[in-house]
Amino acid sequence: MTKALIFDLDNCLAAADEVGEELYEPAFHAIRQANQGRVSDEALKQAFADTWRHPLDWVAARYGFSDAMLAAGWRVFAGMEVSQPLHGYGDLAILAELPAQRFLVTSGFRRLQQSKIQALGLAPHFTALYVDAIDEPNRLGKRRLFAQILKEHRLTPAEALIVGDNADSELDAGNRLGIRTVQTLRPGVKRAANATFHVRSLAGLKKLLDDPLRLQ
């Protein structure tokens, strides 16, 4: 029996770029200023596109940012927050209909991720919310946060589902803990081979939960 659903936020419940490209532009500008020809314009353009789906430190390593480039972007992102309401994907009302405890675990800069949660009005839908803050020391990471949720709420891996979009993040972490995973195939999300199940919406997730035979 599925007793707990552990959700990702970005590109699972809300498009990461719903905040608007103008919010990220000051950070991109700071990175460009620190670049000094190290990364080509084309590669930098792709790197900035990847920041909507991956943490800044991952992007910096992948595209060979200098320490100065990473530090320049990091300073701006660490102080960034959303100030306008967000709506998320159009099916968030279904969260209240899902027959299990719900938890949210999102990775990123703490101030930014917390402001997204607030702007989306997500708190009433969840038993607990966790930010895997990349800008704080002693970061746990999603795998250890998932394990913590299981321990604190006396859940077995078989009683939980991880719901998210990223094959290398929450889906991988869930698999390593023996928790079944559900990939949300939102617009632009590539189908991952390492997900136990795939759905295109929260309605699809609800249908999956309503069919115990599929979950066995």
Predicted local confidence at residue 1, as pLDDT = 87
The CA-CA-CA angle for residues 110, 3, 114, to 5°, reads 10
Q: Within this chain, do residues 41 and 71 fall inside the same structural domain, yes or no?
A: yes
Q: Within this chain, do residues 113 and 57 fall inside the same structural domain, yes or no?
A: no
Per the structure, the count of domains in the chain is 2
Range of the domain at 64: 18-78
Predicted local confidence at residue 213, as pLDDT = 77
Q: At 111, which CATH number?
A: 3.40.50.1000
Write the pLDDT tens digit of every residue in 127-183: 999 999 999 999 999 999 999 999 999 999 999 999 999 999 999 999 999 999 999
Q: Within this chain, do residues 9 and 73 fall inside the same structural domain, yes or no?
A: no
Burial 69-79 (b: 16+ CB within 10 A, else e): bbebbbebbbe
Write the pLDDT tens digit of every residue in 42-89: 999 999 999 999 999 999 999 999 999 999 999 999 999 999 999 999
- With 90 as the cut, is the pLDDT of residue 215 above it? no
Q: Within this chain, do residues 89 and 61 fall inside the same structural domain, yes or no?
A: no
* Percent of the chain at pLDDT exceeding 70: 100
